[in-house]
Each structure stands twice: as C-alpha cells, then as structure tokens.
Amino acid sequence: MKLKVYADRMSQPSRAILIFCKVNGIEIEEIHIELSKPINPLKKVPAIVDGRFKLFESHAILIYIASAFPGVANHWYPADASRKAKIHSVLDWHHLNLRRGTAGYVLNTVLAPLLGLPLNAQAAAEAEKVLVSSLSTIENIWLKGDGPFLLGSFRPSIADLSLVCEIMQLQLLDEKDHDRIIGPYKKVQQWIESTKNATKPHFDEVHNVLYKLKARLSAQQSSKADGQIKAGIKAPIFSKM
C-alpha cells in the first residue's frame, strides 16, 4: 500500500514532504486537502497515513519517512547521533523563529486579504523583526561551515528542505519588499539555489502553485498601479501627493 500524504501545496511543510518523497523515489498517494478543510484531529496538514499508522507535524513526518523507508540516502537524516542531534536542533529552532517570522510577515502583508482577514501593520512589524533575526542566524551561524548546506554539510538534510520551503513563502511578497528583506543575506540566497538544484526537478514542480499565485498577485498589483496612474491623469490633484 502506498504512503498517503495529505497535503496542500500552498503550505510550506506540505511541500517539504512532497519534495522529499519525490527526490527519494518513495511512491506516494497525494491527497489534496485545502487548509480550510482539515482532516486530522488537530486540524492541520500535512499528515501521513502509512498502513494503519497516522502521523502529523512535518518534522516528525520527515524523520519518520527518512528512518522507516529504504533507499533514503544517509545525508538526509544521518545515522550518527551527533549529526542527528544538530539537525533536531535546527528543526526545533525553526518553529519559534523562522516559521513564526515568515508566516506572520507573509500573512500580515499579503495573504490576510485573500483569507478575508484585515492586514495588521503592528503584527507585520513584529514578525519582520523575528524574520530578519532568523535570516541573520541562518547566514551567520547555521551556514558558517564549509559546505553549501546547513551545519557545514556538503549534501542537504531534511533541515535544509524544511527551512528552504519556509523561506520560499517570501516569494509571495511584493518584489521590492522581498529584495529588501532577503537581499542582505548572500549565503542564504546561495543556499536556496543549492537546495533547489539538489532536489530538481521536483522542487519547482511542487512549488508551481506558489509561483502561479505569485504571478496573479503581481498582475493585480501592476493593474492597481496602472489604475493609480490613470486616476492621477483624471484627477491631477493626486499628482501633488
């Protein structure tokens, strides 16, 4: 029986699991669950069902698949206790730092109106602080080793995949805002590219839904900008603003 993966590709942890399975040749049945229609008792995706075994929480799922399925290369989740521990440490850190910052910032600058929620400038400002501090930690601590991946590794681990899928959510930002936030972090940018390359073509295929939403948001924004210019022509008073 195939591993069932309940996922919404708009959710970054769902994408991490889908990419991981595809890269490692694990056959899955992907069951699309919109975030607004949850299936598991804690009302979250992603979740997996392996025979009679059910599991959720993306990090726990990545570790389980890496441990229980044959054919997953050791670099994804090394057998060595110390290297494993360092990966756990990054994954734990992720929750209250990179995830909190990214999710809070994207929600309060872009996604809220699409979900029928008000934009909250104060929450966005607080989330931005957490996000910037998290990017700085990745740049200066997690990526300070020799290799292009976290913890100085030369091959990616489940932590690289999980964190890069999180950061990809920033694609939804207005381009100027995106560049302002991520621009200063050169190693982070190289690391995203290295992770994409190490998992292609699955990385882009699974992110396609995000790229499409991004294109739709950009189109909306430029038509809004056009509208403002036209309004400016019609009502010259605005040109003074």
Residues that bind a copy of itself (CB under 8 A): 41-42, 53, 55-61, 63-64, 67-68, 81-82, 84-86, 88-89, 91-93, 95-96, 99-100, 137, 141
Which residue lies nearer to a copy of itself by CB, 4 or 100? 100
Contacts of 232 (CB under 8 A, 6+ apart): 238, 239
Burial class (CB in 10 A: 0-12, 13-18, 19+), 132: middle
Which residue lies nearer to a copy of itself by CB, 7 or 63? 63
User: Minimum distance from CB of 184 to a copy of itself (Å)?
Assistant: 19
Which residue lies nearer to a copy of itself by CB, 77 or 203? 77
Cα distance between residue 36 and residue 146, in whole Å = 42
Which residue lies nearer to a copy of itself by CB, 25 or 41? 41
Tell me which amino acid residue 4 is.
K
User: Minimum distance from CB of 15 to a copy of itself (Å)?
Assistant: 17
User: Minimum distance from CB of 91 to a copy of itself (Å)?
Assistant: 8
Which residue lies nearer to a copy of itself by CB, 36 or 122? 122
Of 165, 181, 175, 189, the residue nearest 131 (C-alpha): 181
User: Minimum distance from CB of 209 to a copy of itself (Å)?
Assistant: 24
User: Minimum distance from CB of 233 to a copy of itself (Å)?
Assistant: 43
Name residue, tokens 């990545």: 62
Burial class (CB in 10 A: 0-12, 13-18, 19+), 110: buried
Contacts of 127 (CB under 8 A, 6+ apart): 100, 101, 102, 103, 104, 105, 107, 108
